[in-house]
Structure 1
Amino acid sequence: MKIGELAKQVGVTVETIRYYENEGLLPPALRNPANNYRRYDKGHLERLIFIRRCRTLAMTHSEIKVLLQARIQPDNSCETINELIDEHIHHVQARIAELTILETQLIELRNQCHAALTTRDCGILRELDHPTDELTEAPLVQSHVAGSQCKTHQSK
């Protein structure tokens, strides 16, 4: 099948398929010598479905590569897979805790302004002008979970 057909079947973009090929998650397709079009087979489809499922679980490319490698070694122990998932659960739990704290801070901030006032009198803007204890703590860094930020002493 052509790349557009594969993309449609899995629900991703053509660019995503090319990106996964470049990242080594999806093996390159064979080229049709007559027109140089990429030709994908059932193996590509199954692997792309697997990758997409992993991405819906917010797994990183390196985690997916470990799982893909495990798929081609069916007689090996799945201990590494269990450890990978346990570590991923830990990251998700840490992110949930961070988001809960963020939610509390935003609610407290929202409570600073209960009416539509002029921006000069807005309690939210006034509150944002004051530094907090969080500004003196460890700087934020990207966590392995997409879109999240962790304090450096929390992310490992």
Structure 2
Amino acid sequence: MYKISEFTEMTGLSKETLRYYAEVKLLEPALIDPNNNYRYYDDGSYFLAILLVKLRGFGFTVQEMLSVMEDESFAHLEDLLIQNREKIKMQIENLRQRIEEIDEFLVSGKEENG
């Protein structure tokens, strides 16, 4: 078992994030000591926390992460990752188009002034 301070160091998740994840039932401590309310996490918690860190890094919302956690077989995870990848590709394409528009605007401004 790991104390919350140890667990934050291991996972990179802040205490506030861990408390929030517990509140929304995303990642609950393996044990809460009834005497002092200290939170303890186990190796299974560690696996889930690392998965959550990855998903958050991929841009998943809390709701999407909840969906993944509710599907304990993780069968739906691949579909969500593919959808997320496609969404990112679209965002990249939109940004490329904006860059082109900015470049065209800059060129047209130089032509008018030159």
Shorter-chain TM-score bucket reads: 0.7 to 0.9
TM-score by length of 2: 0.75
Once residues 68 and 27 of structure 2 are traced to their aligned partners in structure 1, the CA distance between those partners, rounded to angstroms, is: 13
- Find the structure with the greater CA-based Rg: 1
Once residues 12 and 106 of structure 2 are traced to their aligned partners in structure 1, the CA distance between those partners, rounded to angstroms, is: 38
Once residues 13 and 77 of structure 2 are traced to their aligned partners in structure 1, the CA distance between those partners, rounded to angstroms, is: 26
Q: Are 2:94 and 1:94 aligned? A: no
TM-score by length of 1: 0.57
AA at the equivalent of 2:19:
R
Higher helix residue share: 2
Aligned pairs for 1:3-152 (under 5 A) are: 3-70=4-71, 72-73=72-73, 78=75, 80-108=76-104
The CA deviation at 1:107 is 4.1
Once residues 2 and 106 of structure 1 are traced to their aligned partners in structure 2, the CA distance between those partners, rounded to angstroms, is: 51
Deviations 1:88-120 (A, max 9, x none): 22211111112112333444566658xxxxxxx
Task: Please provide the CA RMSD for this pair.
Answer: 2.6
Percent identity over the alignment is: 28
Q: How many residues align?
A: 109
Structure 2 gap ranges (5+): none
Equivalent residues of 2:21, 2:27 under 8 A apart: yes
Indicate the structure whose relative CO is greater, using CA pairs within 8 Å and at least 6 residues apart: 2
Structure 1 gap ranges (5+): 114-156
Deviations 1:30-67 (A, max 9, x none): 22233221122112111111100111111222222232
